[in-house]
Structure 1
């Protein structure tokens, strides 16, 4: 008879925890779908801009088209591999993977595409229970769920700057498709 209250508590816990777990798993699968769509659109934008315009800056203090593109790759790597995955961060000032340097358009596209591959692989293995874990994000307390959302916002922000660069060069960006 003493075991009955424990059994009832265990059953209630399982009943309440199951929907939460399902919601967290659904968040991850929804996020992966969105990230794949964002990747497709970003790579299409990168393909559409002529290589000779990759150095274009909307203003002298702005990042160039190429710098915005590789910065998206760097941030994708940092948010996924370091913040979500726990790997030590790359050093922005000294890292050469995400610096334009002498990279061709094709090389930059390959770098960003490979970074998406690695991020997606990590997120596919991400334990949804960790979504509520908290960490320091530039002095702010943020959950890992918020890190996912911040990453999406960051991609969109810099991709938007790339689209403006295209427009300022008289180019029509690829048609935006919902759910990116």
Structure 2
């Protein structure tokens, strides 16, 4: 009986830590979001507040609109699509609109949104990554939603980098935030 107990104890102590390991995809994605936030904060800080309304072309989003659109999309992808919270309505939302917000307020809102997304993912059940949902008429897993979110952040941040360059500013080196 004692040998069986020791054997069972040994097996449980060996297997349990393996079962409790964090999901590698989620930990990698969380690291990516943390670094993306750091880089985006540097980019947002670099643009002088008086140029936050700058548009590369008349039909493009302004620097501040790109920044806040990243926040809206981060909130929607993480909290609503991945987390299941009711989605904000972009047309009526005021949290992620730059109107009447200072540069500091926008940067703080973006930082808070990244923090909330990361917290959600730290508590997220990795088994749900394979759950599928509708994404603009396409069936996508929650894992794919994470990757789409990363692409979306990069897309709009890239537009912000162009705005910096057209204002004579050299963006911080991205390589430090990979």
Q: One fold, TM greater than 0.5?
A: yes
Whether 1:168 aligns to 2:166 is yes
Offset at residue 179 of structure 1 (A): 5.1
The equivalent of 1:65 in structure 2 is: 63
Whether 1:89 aligns to 2:83 is no
Matched-pair contact (CA < 8 Å) for 2:39–2:177:
no
Structure 1 runs of 4+ with >4 Å offset: none
The equivalent of 1:5 in structure 2 is: none
The equivalent of 2:144 in structure 1 is: 146
- Partners of 1:174 and 1:102 lie apart in 2 by 27
The equivalent of 2:134 in structure 1 is: 136
- Partners of 1:147 and 1:179 lie apart in 2 by 21
- Partners of 1:42 and 1:100 lie apart in 2 by 16
Offset at residue 102 of structure 1 (A): 1.2
Pick from 8, 30, 33: which aligns with 1:32?
30
| Alpha-carbon displacement from aligned partner over 1:48-75 (angstroms, at most 9, x marks no partner) | 1100110000000000000000000000
Q: Extract unaligned runs of 5+ from structure 2.
A: 1-14
Whether 1:52 aligns to 2:50 is yes
Q: Extract unaligned runs of 5+ from structure 1.
A: 1-14
The equivalent of 1:109 in structure 2 is: 107
The equivalent of 1:123 in structure 2 is: 121
Matched-pair contact (CA < 8 Å) for 2:38–2:177:
no
Q: CA RMSD in A?
A: 1.6
TM-score (norm. length: structure 1): 0.86
- Partners of 1:179 and 1:25 lie apart in 2 by 22
Offset at residue 178 of structure 1 (A): 4.8
Number of aligned residues = 162
